[in-house]
Structure 1
Amino acid sequence: MSHPPPLPIYTLRGAGGPLNTLHFSCHEEGTPLLFSGSGKGAIHIWNLNSRRAEKIVEGHSGSSVIWVSTLQSTDTLISQGRDLQVCLWNLSEGRSELLESLWTGSVGFCQCSMLEISPSKYLLAFAGQQTEEIKIIELPSKIPVCSLVPEGKLGMVMCIQLWQPDSGPGPLLLAGYEDGSLLLWDVTQRSTLSQVKAHPEPVMCLTFDTKRLRGISGSSEKKLSSWMLDSQNNLQLQDGVMLVNPGVSQMCIREDGKLLASAGWDHRVRIFSWKKLRPLAVLQYHTDMVLSVAFSDHQDPRQRLLAAGSKDQRISLWSIYNEGADTG
């Protein structure tokens, strides 16, 4: 007999708007935290022990917050809003003060991507003012690194991920575009290394496993597109995954490389084995589109959580496949 689908271990309410983005910080010695960004401009910092919001940062003039992350420790928060601003916040010693803001000029929904290149030095990639442009700057100095614009007409940049390969000189960037194309950029050379047409529709989201050099992307269709990088940095399409219902908002891979989670427009979270893309579970709880998913970064695998944020203004937290279950 198959197991009945699990229920959330608990839910977080009171965000006051759709939950566009989630970010865990559970690896420090301190309290495990979950950061969420809402459609009403609020960033909630949830204490996962008390299951309450420890702090609410009202930023971005009430505009939708579409991405949140933290620099190194949880003392500096970085957020991106639909007010075309990226903001850095000082959270140390109970503060929530705005350190500085950066104007992106991008009217799309493309979330930023950040990469630590040395202790306390980061690269930040974001969609620029031009439709197809990706800008990269260094933080905290805000020194411009480069601007990446493809040669062909690919439409708006939809999603990006910066990463640092084990071999090779500098960082690479994966980008999904409105025409369904995926491009791999060499940031140092400011050149395209590879390009594939992954979807007939705009690429809504992508996630890339930097250890296994495999990635997956989603769109408004009923299919996830799987792909890999070969030794020459060429993107190679693999077998995709058919979905019951169309539309994926976001995907994430658990740090141990065993699970993939997808946030569905059909109100469901789907869990797959990352190795074989075998469907493992369908999590049903939300009453509207699921917009964001994130796995926690707990050091102890038994404490790992999956969080899902929905348009229904609730965050569900799940404990799944944490005891070394066969997820091949």
Structure 2
Amino acid sequence: MSRPAPCPIYTLRGAGGPLNTLHFSCHGRDTPLLYSGSGKGGIHIWNLNTRRAEKIVEGHSGNSVIWVSTLQETDTLISQGRDMQVCLWDLSEGRSEMVDSVWTGSVGFCQCSTLETSPGNYLLAFAGQQTEEIKIIELSSKTPVCTLVPDAKLGMVMCIKLWQPDSGTGPLLLAGYEDGSLLLWDVTQRSKLSQAKAHPEPVMCLTFDTKRLRGISGSSEKKLSSWMLDRQNNLQLQDCVTMVNPGVSQLCIRGDGKLLASAGWDHRVRVFGWKKLRPLAVLQYHTDMVQSVAFSDHQDPKQRLLAAGSKDQRISLWSIYNEGADTG
């Protein structure tokens, strides 16, 4: 007999709008937290012990919040809204004060990406005012680092990921574009290292495993496209995963590199083994498009969760494959 479909261990309600983005902060904390950004401009900080919102931050003038994150080892929250602002918030000692902001000029839905280059120092990458440009700045000083613009017309920047290779060279950036292309950029040299056509449609989302130098991207079609970097930093297309229904909003790899989750336009979350892209589960709970998925960063594997945020204004939390499961 096949196992029954899993159910969420609990759900969070009261976000007051469609859920666009989720971010966990559980590692090293007494109180595990989940941050969510809604289509109505609210940032909810959920206490996962009480399963209630312990704080609501309103900072984007009612505009949709499309990305939230925290700066490691600090009480700084960073959020991005459709008001073209990236805001930094001081959450220490119960505060919720906006301490700085960056104007992006971008009207798209491309989420920002941050990278800690040294303790307390961060780079921030974001889609710029011009359709194809990516801007990178030093976060605290707002000093411009570079602007990356492809030679050919690739359309709007859709998704980006800043990362630091182990080789000791400078930061690299992966970007997905409207024409379905992926580009790998050398931030220090301000140059394109390689390019691959991963999809016939716009690249809606991508995620990248920096340890295995392997990534995966999704679009409005029924396929996920996986790819890797060789030793010369060339993007090499690999396997495709064919899904039942088209459209993926977001992809997320668990921190231990064992699981991949996808947020589907068909209201479902799909879980795959990351090593072989083997389908493991289809999670059905939501009544509208799933727009965000995130794995928790709990230190104890038994406590790890998967969260999904939907257009139906609910967040579902799931506990799956945490002990000794074959997740190949």
Alignment TM class, shorter chain as reference = over 0.9
Measure the CA separation in 2 of the matches of 1:85 and 1:8. Answer: 34
Measure the CA separation in 1 of the matches of 2:154 and 2:237. Answer: 18
The equivalent residue for 1:183 is 183
Q: How many residues align?
A: 328
**Runs ≥4 in structure 1, deviation > 4 angstroms?**
none
The equivalent residue for 1:31 is 31
Residues 269, 282 of structure 2: 8 Å contact kept: yes
Kindly provide the amino acid, as one letter, of the partner of residue 319 in structure 1.
Answer: S
Residues 182, 198 of structure 2: 8 Å contact kept: yes
Residues 28, 299 of structure 2: 8 Å contact kept: no
The equivalent residue for 1:113 is 113
Kindly provide the amino acid, as one letter, of the partner of residue 271 in structure 2.
Answer: I
Q: List runs of 5+ in structure 1 lacking aligned partners.
A: none
SS at match of 2:93: helix
1:2 shift after superposition: 2.1
Kindly provide the amino acid, as one letter, of the partner of residue 4 in structure 2.
Answer: P
1:117 shift after superposition: 0.6
Measure the CA separation in 1 of the matches of 2:163 and 2:280. Answer: 28
Aligned pair 1:156/2:156, yes or no?
A: yes
Measure the CA separation in 2 of the matches of 1:315 and 1:202. Answer: 26
SS at match of 1:131: coil
Measure the CA separation in 2 of the matches of 1:15 and 1:129. Answer: 30
The equivalent residue for 1:318 is 318
The equivalent residue for 2:216 is 216
Structure-to-structure mapping, 1:12-91, within 5 angstroms: 12-73=12-73, 75-91=75-91
Q: List runs of 5+ in structure 2 lacking aligned partners.
A: none
Measure the CA separation in 2 of the matches of 1:161 and 1:16. Answer: 29
Q: Percent identity?
A: 88
- After TM superposition, the structure 1 stretch with the greater mean CA deviation from structure 2, 65-74 or 132-141, is 65-74
Measure the CA separation in 2 of the matches of 1:214 and 1:221. Answer: 21
Residues 63, 83 of structure 1: 8 Å contact kept: yes
Residues 203, 218 of structure 1: 8 Å contact kept: yes
- After TM superposition, the structure 1 stretch with the greater mean CA deviation from structure 2, 135-144 or 47-56, is 135-144
Aligned pair 1:299/2:306, yes or no?
A: no
The equivalent residue for 1:194 is 194
With structure 1 as the length reference, what TM-score do the two structures score? 0.99
CA offsets 1:51-92 (integer angstroms, 9 cap, x no match): 000100011000000000011235110000000000001111
Kindly provide the amino acid, as one letter, of the partner of residue 224 in structure 2.
Answer: L
SS at match of 2:61: helix
CA offsets 1:139-159 (integer angstroms, 9 cap, x no match): 211111000000000000000
Aligned pair 1:122/2:122, yes or no?
A: yes
Residues 63, 81 of structure 1: 8 Å contact kept: yes
The equivalent residue for 2:229 is 229
Give RMSD over aligned pairs.
Answer: 0.6
Measure the CA separation in 2 of the matches of 1:9 and 1:74. Answer: 29
1:100 shift after superposition: 1.1
SS at match of 1:183: strand
Measure the CA separation in 1 of the matches of 2:253 and 2:77. Answer: 23
CA offsets 1:108-167 (integer angstroms, 9 cap, x no match): 000000011111000100000000000000121111100000000000000000000000
1:30 shift after superposition: 2.5
Kindly provide the amino acid, as one letter, of the partner of residue 286 in structure 1.
Answer: H
Measure the CA separation in 2 of the matches of 1:85 and 1:60. Answer: 7
Measure the CA separation in 2 of the matches of 1:245 and 1:67. Answer: 25
Residues 123, 136 of structure 2: 8 Å contact kept: yes
With structure 2 as the length reference, what TM-score do the two structures score? 0.99
Measure the CA separation in 1 of the matches of 2:30 and 2:157. Answer: 37
1:3 shift after superposition: 1.2
Measure the CA separation in 1 of the matches of 2:272 and 2:223. Answer: 13
Aligned pair 1:243/2:281, yes or no?
A: no
The equivalent residue for 1:277 is 277
Aligned pair 1:286/2:286, yes or no?
A: yes
Change (3 A) 1:268 1:214: same
The equivalent residue for 2:135 is 135
CA offsets 1:230-265 (integer angstroms, 9 cap, x no match): 011000000100000000000000011110000000
The equivalent residue for 1:260 is 260
Residues 77, 90 of structure 1: 8 Å contact kept: yes
